[in-house]
Structure 1
Amino acid sequence: MSRARADEEEYWHSSKFRAFTFDDEDDELSQLKESKRAVNSLRDIVDDDDDDLERVSWSGEPVGSISWSIKETASGSTSSLDGRDSSLQKGSSSYAALPKQGSSYSLSSLFKGFLCATQLCFFLSALTDTGGKSYAPELRRPKAEYKDYSSDWSPKDTVRRMQRGKVCSLERFRSLQDKLVLLDEAVAGHDGNVITAVLIFLKRTLRREILFRELEVRQVALCHLIHFLRETGEQKFLLDLLRLGYGFFPLSLQLSQYREHLNIQDVEKRREFLKSCIGLPFSAEDTSHIQDHYTLLERQIIIEANDRHLEMAGQSELFRKYPRKASILNMPLVTTLFYSCFYHYTEAEGTFSSPSNLKKTFKIPDKQYVLTALAARAKLRAWGDVDALLTTKNWLGYTKKKAPIGFHRVVEILQRNSAPVQVLQEYVRLVEDVETRLSLATKYKCHDVVIETYRDLKDRIQLIAYKSKVERGSAEDEKINSILNNMVRNTY
């Protein structure tokens, strides 16, 4: 019985066919480990005296040279690709074959000791790699490439390498003198990208006061920094640059920075921006204008909030009859004055929305104030307010009509707002120039003014000619006849 079992085991072990077991994969791994141990044991077999001999491959080239490594890499890559293609054609159930190496990796070369330690490691990695990958021995980089990352470059060489697109670290320039030399070399190179890169480095590593002081004598670098700050939108840094710039910036730069408020939509942010612009190195006159702009926006915010509340609550008859068409925010001073004269004309001077308060605060000239107030009150057809606006009283208590803009402008404004003829005639009579008075009276059909002017001129011919332009039997016709009759009596 035992003999039959022994024959059976001998048959299965001697046969090339094997039964399927779940331990096949473990057997192959164990075989790979045994192969690895066998190769490692080769080091003890190789004679140490052979190290002094020159080792060559079958092609006659020294083993380990650059040309030998390149050829071995190419042959290993080709064989690995061939092995991979053949393994894919066998089907997914077959295991990937080990990559075939070149002739220098033969067993004879192994036992003769023609492999160095690097080649042995490569061979072992090929044995354990079941995916069919082949790795060439890593070559040392040329020394010129390692110098790209060196910290021994001078400022001039650093700028040159940056111009060629090389990666250069600027952190080695720690002292202020080295940084300024680097900046001067960048400016001398006339490369805007390099100048901007160096300025970014200086902006990050220097205090603002020192940076601004050094840029005062380097106008080219200063222009590049300003352009960079505008493009990146660093308004706070740019404002500090202008504020601490010791007055060496051109006026156009401050004005362009001031114009940035036009791009700010939020009212509160615009107000804060205008407040920050007050400290910029403008002239005294320009600073006064910026201060007025800031004050005006503050007034507009207060007026807008109050009027919006009145309009929504419906407490004001004027807002119900003439609803607002737009917000007062961000409007010019003249528009704000017109708005105040239209909706807040009767308010006391102490309120922010009072027209007289605006005139006093912003020092509005009399001509501008009268012109704006006249247009606002005439639009409301408040003829009594128009008369009061143009009436002045002297120190003796006498009153007279006075128009800083000229009564001819008053007549034109009143006529555009459909003023009645009686109102127009009152102000046409006040036009001093006779020709202008006759022209306006004829244009706007103020017959009484025309007749009275010709009477004062004692122009009988013009009266007779003008009589044909009025309706027969009307009051104007009778007035002309009366004047003509008086002229006849006076001649006799």
Structure 2
Amino acid sequence: MTSAKDDEAFWNSSEKLCFRFDNNEVDQFGVSKTDIDKLLAGISNTSTAEASLKSAANYQPLKPMLSIISEKTLDCILAMDKLKNLHPETSGVQPDITLRKILLGQPYSLEQYKSLASKTALLDAAIISGDGNAILIIILFLTKTLKRSLVQKILAERLDAVNVYIRYLSIRLQINEITDILTMLGQSTDSAMKTLHIIIKNTRDPDRLLNKLRNCYKTQFSALADCKEAPFVQSYIKLLEWQTIAKVVDGNEEIELNSSVLDCLRHACKGHWDLPEGKLMSPTNLSQQYDVSPRQYQKVALEVRAAIKEWGDIDRLLLTKARFILRFCNLIKTNNINVLKILYKNSAPPEVLEKYLKYVDNIERRLELSKNMHCFRMAIDILVQQTDRIALTEYKMKLQPQSEEYFYAEGMLRMPAVKWKN
């Protein structure tokens, strides 16, 4: 039989001790305070994890992946991710890994790219990715670490990179750099047009604009024999000079600098109508200098003189050539100008309208226009000419009773000399 002493020795020496009466660090369930702390911490961590899972389950992505990054760039990143798994990153030069970090917005360093070959390899990798921001980052790195002539030589062989860099330089208004690159590529016309675009878009002061345009034409456009835009630039410079003189001569703000040719023509037709041909501010001189077509000149002049009720000027403008007026006043809108519509819009009196209504060949159309434009006497005369008593009677009933036109229609109905057809 085992003694009590042996039993006590067993309980005190067993490695699988679960309960000891003489251990103050063990509670009544055989778990130490340290273990309780660990257990509580585990419960707390479990609660936090469950809360995180619950939050993740309720999370809805705001945008699909391909709406944030292009499919081509995503494929490039995935391909480089495979390369990273096959070739873990080391301290050596690895363009694909560096580019992957740039595309993902991760920290990266370009200091290890010291040789020309490694730098061009990095640029080529960026071009293959098709990401403009990555291409620009590498180009700016090259401009800081290589000679300007060498950078231009590298870009000359990579037109995709050139386009990205030119766009960047345009935003920065670095015209000289743009000119050097495009000229080196044999694109002198593109260089001149790009310079012109930047100047016009970003210069607000009229005097500075005029000076810059003169210099641009002198240094770039004048040397381009086959450039179709060169005459345009020269005409634009002359127009700005005309506008500058107009503001000084007229002393008002009616004409704004950088206005169109037609706006300038309107200004000349309004304030300098009587100036003879050959004078700088003359409307005819302005239209000839800037190749304004005759029909466009007639339209602008007609609108301006009608707006200020100068009906005599309109007669001199339109009635000097009989053949022209026959075509000009045809209501099929010959030359895209409807004379009668312009006159009526500007409240021309009936006698002025009737003067031009008679040039409408189609009598039915002339009758319709006469009624619509309230040229009562002409409408009545046409109905009498058509010997249509019923139509004239109906028209008289629509006129204002006791008015002049009402009595005129009534008098025509009583004329015995008219042989009515109905």
Distance in 2 between residues matched to 1:154 and 1:481, nearest whole Å = 106
Corresponding position of 1:415: 344
Are 1:226 and 2:166 counterparts? yes
Number of matched residues?
Answer: 317
What secondary structure sits across from 1:468 in the alignment?
Answer: helix
Note closer, same or farther for the CA distance 1:379–1:454 as it changes in structure 2 (3 Å cut): same
Corresponding position of 1:264: 203
Are 1:431 and 2:374 counterparts? no
What secondary structure sits across from 2:415 in the alignment?
Answer: helix
Note closer, same or farther for the CA distance 1:371–1:199 as it changes in structure 2 (3 Å cut): same
Corresponding position of 1:461: 390
What secondary structure sits across from 2:398 in the alignment?
Answer: coil
> Partner letter of residue 235 of structure 1?
I
Q: Is the 8 A contact 2:389 2:420 kept in 1?
A: no
Counterpart pick for 2:308 among 377, 380, 399: 380
Corresponding position of 2:59: none
Q: Is the 8 A contact 1:155 1:185 kept in 2?
A: no
Corresponding position of 1:339: 267
Q: Is the 8 A contact 2:392 2:409 kept in 1?
A: no
Q: Could you tell which deviates more after superposition, 272-281 or 154-163?
A: 154-163
Pairwise CA distance, 1:359: 1.0
Corresponding position of 1:144: none
> Partner letter of residue 393 of structure 2?
I
Q: Is the 8 A contact 1:390 1:402 kept in 2?
A: no
> Partner letter of residue 474 of structure 1?
E
Q: Could you tell which deviates more after superposition, 361-370 or 452-461?
A: 452-461
What secondary structure sits across from 1:392 in the alignment?
Answer: coil
Q: Is the 8 A contact 1:390 1:403 kept in 2?
A: no
> Partner letter of residue 419 of structure 1?
A
Q: Is the 8 A contact 2:98 2:109 kept in 1?
A: no
Deviation readout 1:230-260 (Å, 9 max, x if unpaired): 3433234335545554349989x95797276
Pairwise CA distance, 1:477: 3.1
- Which has more radius of gyration? 1
Distance in 2 between residues matched to 1:258 and 1:155, nearest whole Å = 40
Counterpart pick for 1:440 among 353, 369, 375: 369
Corresponding position of 2:240: 297
Distance in 1 between residues matched to 2:129 and 2:409, nearest whole Å = 92
Pairwise CA distance, 1:381: 1.5
Deviation readout 1:424-451 (Å, 9 max, x if unpaired): 2212222333343223211221112112
User: What stretches of structure 2 of length at least 5 have no aligned partner?
Assistant: 1-89
Report matched runs for 1:43-442 at 5 Å.
165-166=108-109, 168=111, 173=115, 180=120, 183-188=123-128, 192=132, 195-200=135-140, 202-203=142-143, 205-206=146-147, 214-242=154-182, 245-247=185-187, 258=197, 261-275=200-214, 279=220, 286-308=229-251, 326-393=254-321, 401-402=325-326, 404=328, 406=330, 409-442=338-371
> Partner letter of residue 230 of structure 1?
S
Distance in 2 between residues matched to 1:435 and 1:275, nearest whole Å = 57
Q: Is the 8 A contact 1:212 1:241 kept in 2?
A: yes
Note closer, same or farther for the CA distance 1:400–1:227 as it changes in structure 2 (3 Å cut): closer
Q: Is the 8 A contact 1:370 1:405 kept in 2?
A: no
What secondary structure sits across from 2:343 in the alignment?
Answer: helix
Note closer, same or farther for the CA distance 1:167–1:430 as it changes in structure 2 (3 Å cut): same
Relative to the length of structure 1, the TM-score reads: 0.53
Note closer, same or farther for the CA distance 1:232–1:452 as it changes in structure 2 (3 Å cut): same
Note closer, same or farther for the CA distance 1:416–1:489 as it changes in structure 2 (3 Å cut): closer
Q: Is the 8 A contact 1:300 1:329 kept in 2?
A: yes
What secondary structure sits across from 1:292 in the alignment?
Answer: helix
Q: Could you tell which deviates more after superposition, 221-230 or 356-365?
A: 221-230
> Partner letter of residue 249 of structure 2?
N
Note closer, same or farther for the CA distance 1:480–1:249 as it changes in structure 2 (3 Å cut): same
Distance in 2 between residues matched to 1:160 and 1:478, nearest whole Å = 91
Counterpart pick for 1:477 among 377, 397, 407: 407
Distance in 1 between residues matched to 2:340 and 2:409, nearest whole Å = 24
Distance in 2 between residues matched to 1:405 and 1:473, nearest whole Å = 30
Corresponding position of 1:320: none
Q: Is the 8 A contact 1:254 1:282 kept in 2?
A: no
